[in-house]
C-alpha cells in the first residue's frame, strides 16, 4: 500500500508554558484511508509531563487570584477566536477521527460554545455564602480552586469532551495539563494552542502521547490535585488506582451500555424509528451514551424491527468529508477488530445478523475502517453483544413481555450511563425512568444534544464517579471551604470532660 502525507504539516506537539517543544512523534492515520498520514503527534515522556505540571503549578496562584469575572473575560475572548476556526478544524477532525463533517463541526464547535457557557457562570463563584451570622460568629462558605488539573481525553469526541473538562476547571481558577488521545490529537492540539496563547503563560499545557506513559505520569504526579478522566471503564479503574498516591480528587466519565425501552404504550412512528437510528449510529456508534441495546414490547416488536431495519438500510457509509456519507468509518484498528469480532461471534452463536446500508464507494471500502450498519435479532438476552459495550454500528433488538422484566434487564449491567424510555404516556414513562439506574434517562429521544451542557451528566456504577456539565462540573473542580470568624469564644467547650470530642 502506498502512503501519502499531507502537504500541510499537522502537528500535535508537547506544549509547556506556551512553548511548543520538539519531541519524537508518531503518525496519525486517516481512518477512511489507512495509507494517508494526516499528521504527527508528540510522544510526551515522563519528564515532559513533569515540566508541564510544574509550569501549570507555577501559573496557578496568579490565575486563581484574577477572579472569576476576569477569567471569564479571557475565556470569552478565546471562544470568539476559536469560533472562527471551527469550519477549518472540523475538516481536520474528520480526517483524523472519521466522523462525518457535521458531527465534526459540533465537536470542534464545542470549544467556543462550552467556554462561552462557563464564562456565563462566573457569578456562581462570586464571593462566599454566609452560613451563619450572630453576635459571636460569622461563618463564610465558599469554593476554592484545587490547583493543577489533569484532563485525559478519549478519541471519540475529542474537542467537545476536553472542553467539558477544562472550561469549568479554568473558570474556577485551576490550571490544566491536557493529555489528548493518540488517535485524535491534531484538531484538539490546534484548539488548545490557540486557547493557550489567549491565556497567561502556563495556564494551559498539553502532553500528547500514550496512555501508558504520558497519561500514567499525569495521573501519578504529586503536584496534580485533580484528574478529570473521560474514557473506558477499564482505564478508569487504572486511573483511580494511580490517583490514590496523593489522594487526588477524580471525576471519571466512563463507558456505557445504554438501554432503550420501547413500551407497550409507545406508537411506532417514523419519528420514533428515525430517532432510534440516530441514537445508535451517530458517530458510527462511538458515543458513550449512544443506544447500545433496544428492548421492545412484544406487541410492537415485529412492526418495530421491520421499520427499524428499513430505516437503518438508508445509511450511506463513506468518507466523512464526502457530503453524501451519513456514517463514517470506525476510528482505529483496535476498535474495528473489536466490533467485527463481536459481530462474528454473535453470528456464530446463532443470532440473526442483518447487514444493512450502502457503501458510498465499494471499490475503496476496504481501504478504511468502514463497517456497514448492523442489526441483530433472535439472540440470547445474555449474549456478549447485549452485556458489553460494543462502541460501534451494531445493535441488538430484544422483545419483552413484562415491563418489570424490561426494567430489570436494563439494570442488569455494571454500566449506568444513559437510558431512554419510549412511550405516548409521558407520566408512565417518567415513572419507569425513575426506576432505571443510570445518570441520565431521556424520554422519546436518545442522542447527542439530548444531554445539554447545563444538565448534570455522569454514570451510576461502572460508568463513572461524579458529574460533569453545568454547575455540577464547577463544584467538581473546586473545594468547599468554611471560614469561621469567632468574635466571642467564651462559650466554646474547654478542656475537661466536656471538651472537643476530636
The set of catalytic residues is 253
189 contacts ligand NAD (rule: CB under 6 A): no
Give the residue, chosen from 54, 99, 179, 447, that forms a contact with ligand NAD under the rule CB under 6 A.
Answer: 179
Residues 6+ apart with CB under 8 A from 64: 144, 145, 173, 174
For residue 33, CA distances in Å to 28, 242, 369 come to 11, 36, 8
**What is the number of the residue whose Cβ is closest to ligand NAD?**
211
Give the residue, chosen from 215, 259, 357, 392, that forms a contact with ligand NAD under the rule CB under 6 A.
Answer: 215
Q: Which stretch binds ligand NAD (CB under 6 A): 32-40, 224-232, 378-386, 489-497?
A: 224-232
Give the residue, chosen from 11, 78, 153, 169, that forms a contact with ligand NAD under the rule CB under 6 A.
Answer: 153
Least distance from C-beta 342 to ligand NAD, angstroms?
14
* E runs forming strands in 247-360: 249-253, 258-262, 291-297, 316-317, 352-355, 358-359
158 contacts ligand NAD (rule: CB under 6 A): no
256 contacts ligand NAD (rule: CB under 6 A): yes
- What the block records as the C-alpha cell of 22 is 520538539
For residue 172, CA distances in Å to 138, 146, 192 come to 24, 9, 18
Distance between CA atoms of 208 and 186, rounded to whole angstroms? 10
230 contacts ligand NAD (rule: CB under 6 A): yes
Q: Which stretch binds ligand NAD (CB under 6 A): 111-119, 212-220, 347-355, 484-492?
A: 212-220
DSSP string, 392-422: SSEEEEEEES-HHHHHHHHHSSS--SEEEEE
Q: How far is CA 457 from the centre of its chain?
A: 10
Give the residue, chosen from 51, 107, 216, 275, that forms a contact with ligand NAD under the rule CB under 6 A.
Answer: 216
Q: How many CB atoms lie within 10 A of CB 231?
A: 23
254 contacts ligand NAD (rule: CB under 6 A): yes
Residues 6+ apart with CB under 8 A from 437: 411, 416, 460, 461
Read off φ and ψ for residue 348, nearest 5 degrees.
-65, -25
Quick one: 53 or 122, whose CB is closer to ligand NAD?
Answer: 53
288 contacts ligand NAD (rule: CB under 6 A): yes
Quick one: 51 or 182, whose CB is closer to ligand NAD?
Answer: 182
**Segment 289-328, which members bind ligand NAD (CB under 6 A)?**
none
Quick one: 170 or 184, whose CB is closer to ligand NAD?
Answer: 184
**Segment 402-461, which members bind ligand NAD (CB under 6 A)?**
417, 459
Q: How many CB atoms lie within 10 A of CB 85?
A: 18
Given the rule CB under 6 A, which residues bind ligand NAD? Answer: 152-156, 161, 179, 181-182, 211-212, 215-216, 219, 230-232, 235, 238-239, 253-256, 288, 389, 391, 417, 459, 464
Amino acid at each position: 500500500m502506498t502512503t501519502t502525507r499531507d502537504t500541510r504539516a499537522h502537528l500535535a506537539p508537547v506544549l509547556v508554558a506556551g512553548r511548543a517543544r520538539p519531541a519524537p512523534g508518531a503518525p496519525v492515520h486517516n481512518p477512511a484511508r489507512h495509507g494517508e498520514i494526516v499528521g504527527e503527534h508528540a510522544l510526551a515522556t515522563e519528564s515532559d509531563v513533569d515540566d508541564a505540571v510544574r509550569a501549570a503549578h507555577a501559573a496557578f496562584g496568579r490565575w486563581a487570584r484574577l477572579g472569576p469575572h476576569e477569567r471569564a473575560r479571557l475565556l470569552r475572548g478565546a471562544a470568539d477566536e476559536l469560533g472562527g476556526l471551527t469550519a477549518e478544524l472540523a475538516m481536520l477532525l474528520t480526517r483524523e477521527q472519521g466522523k462525518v463533517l457535521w458531527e465534526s463541526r459540533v465537536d470542534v464547535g464545542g470549544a467556543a460554545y462550552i467556554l462561552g457557557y462557563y464564562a456565563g457562570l462566573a457569578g456562581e463563584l462570586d464571593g462566599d455564602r454566609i452560613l451563619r451570622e450572630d453576635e459571636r460568629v460569622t461563618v463564610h462558605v465558599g469554593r476554592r480552586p484545587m490547583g493543577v488539573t489533569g484532563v485525559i481525553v478519549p478519541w471519540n469526541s475529542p474537542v467537545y469532551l476536553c472542553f467539558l473538562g477544562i472550561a469549568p476547571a479554568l473558570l474556577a481558577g485551576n490550571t490544566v495539563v491536557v493529555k489528548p488521545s493518540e488517535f485524535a490529537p491534531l484538531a484538539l492540539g490546534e484548539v488548545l494552542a490557540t486557547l493557550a496563547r489567549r491565556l497567561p503563560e502556563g495556564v494551559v499545557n498539553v502532553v500528547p502521547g500514550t496512555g501508558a506513559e504520558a497519561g500514567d505520569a499525569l495521573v501519578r504526579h504529586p503536584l496534580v490535585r485533580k484528574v478529570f478522566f473521560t474514557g473506558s471503564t477499564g482505564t478508569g479503574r487504572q486511573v483511580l488506582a494511580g490517583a490514590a498516591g496523593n489522594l487526588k480528587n477524580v471525576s471519571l466519565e466512563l463507558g456505557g451500555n445504554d438501554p432503550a425501552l420501547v413500551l407497550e404504550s409507545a406508537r411506532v412512528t417514523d419519528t420514533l424509528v428515525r430517532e432510534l437510528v440516530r441514537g445508535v449510529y451517530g458517530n458510527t456508534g462511538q458515543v458513550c451514551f449512544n443506544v447500545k441495546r433496544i428492548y421492545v414490547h412484544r406487541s410492537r416488536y415485529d412492526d418495530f424491527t421491520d421499520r427499524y431495519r428499513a430505516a437503518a438500510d438508508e445509511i450511506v457509509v463513506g468518507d466523512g468529508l464526502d457530503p453524501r456519507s451519513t456514517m463514517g468509518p470506525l476510528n482505529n484498528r483496535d476498535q474495528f477488530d473489536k466490533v467485527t469480532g463481536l459481530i462474528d461471534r454473535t453470528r456464530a452463536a446463532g443470532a440473526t445478523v442483518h447487514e444493512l446500508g450502502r457503501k458510498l464507494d465499494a471499490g475503496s471500502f476496504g481501504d478504511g475502517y468502514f463497517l456497514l450498519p448492523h442489526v441483530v435479532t433472535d439472540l440470547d438476552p445474555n449474549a456478549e453483544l447485549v452485556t458489553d459495550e460494543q462502541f460501534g454500528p451494531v445493535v441488538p433488538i430484544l422483545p419483552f413481555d413484562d415491563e418489570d422484566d424490561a426494567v430489570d434487564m436494563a439494570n442488569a449491567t455494571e454500566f449506568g450511563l444513559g437510558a431512554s424510555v419510549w412511550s405516548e404516556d409521558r407520566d408512565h414513562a417518567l415513572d419507569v425512568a425513575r426506576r432505571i439506574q443510570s445518570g441520565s434517562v431521556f424520554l422519546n429521544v436518545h442522542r447527542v444534544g439530548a444531554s445539554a451542557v447545563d444538565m448534570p451528566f455522569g454514570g451510576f456504577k461502572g460508568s463513572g464517579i461524579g458529574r460533569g456539565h453545568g454547575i455540577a462540573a464547577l463544584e467538581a473542580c473546586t473545594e468547599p471551604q468554611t471560614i469561621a470568624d469567632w468574635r466571642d469564644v467564651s462559650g466554646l467547650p474547654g478542656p475537661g470532660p466536656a471538651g472537643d470530642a476530636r
